[in-house]
Structure 1
Amino acid sequence: MDGLTVRLPDSLRGKASDLAEEEGISMNQLVMLAVSEKITQLDAEAQFAHLDALERFGESIAEEESTQPDALMENLLDQAGDEEPREGDRRPAEAK
């Protein structure tokens, strides 16, 4: 595990120190928990945004096709079948 030096304003450090003491944990544990909670929150928000975008995309496609998103997806999967992709079916690899 790597170390990290964090500079905090005195007021914020004081509040963090008080909170860690109230919780019976070290400052290190408090900071680790806070960072972990923030990352979890941001990951969840990103997932929900992604799912929302997929749902809106499916609804817009369904409107164009005059069918419901589930029925449209089922239709697309039926068309795909079990066949392996043919030459040219895959998107070209991005240049690095």
Structure 2
Amino acid sequence: MSALNIQLPDSLYNSLKRLAEQDGISLDQFVASAIAEKIAALTTEQYLQERANRGDRTSYESVLSKVPDIEPEVHDKLPSA
């Protein structure tokens, strides 16, 4: 494990401490979890953008044309508005 020493505004530190106590975890655990969530969000966004850039409209339409044009089963229908 690596150590990280950071400076936080008192208000942010107090919120961090209160929330960690509410969750019954240490400050270190709370901060590590928050950082992991942020990294996951950013890398997911990046992955989706990269995947979208590889997309091909012609291939998409080709695959979509193979889907049968039939009524959905009862449990698959959207509720009426």
Q: How far apart are 1:70 and its partner, in Å?
A: 5.9
Deviation string 1:53-93 (CA, Å, 9 cap, x unpaired) is 111xx23xxxxxxxx22699xxxxxxxxxxxxxxxxxxxxx
Deviation string 1:29-58 (CA, Å, 9 cap, x unpaired) is 000000011111111000111111111xx2
* Partner Cα distance (2:32, 2:7) in 1: 15
- Report the identity percentage: 34
Unpaired segments ≥5 residues, structure 1: 60-67, 73-96
Find out whether 1:26 has 2:16 as its counterpart.
Answer: no
- TM-score, scaled relative to structure 1: 0.59
Structure 1 segments, 4+ long, off by >4 Å, are none
Find out whether 1:69 has 2:59 as its counterpart.
Answer: yes
Greater Rg over alpha carbons, structure: 1
- TM-score, scaled relative to structure 2: 0.69
- Specify the code of the residue in structure 1 equivalent to 2:34: A
Q: Which residue of 1 aligns with 2:70?
A: none
- Specify the code of the residue in structure 1 equivalent to 2:5: T
Count of residues paired in the alignment: 62
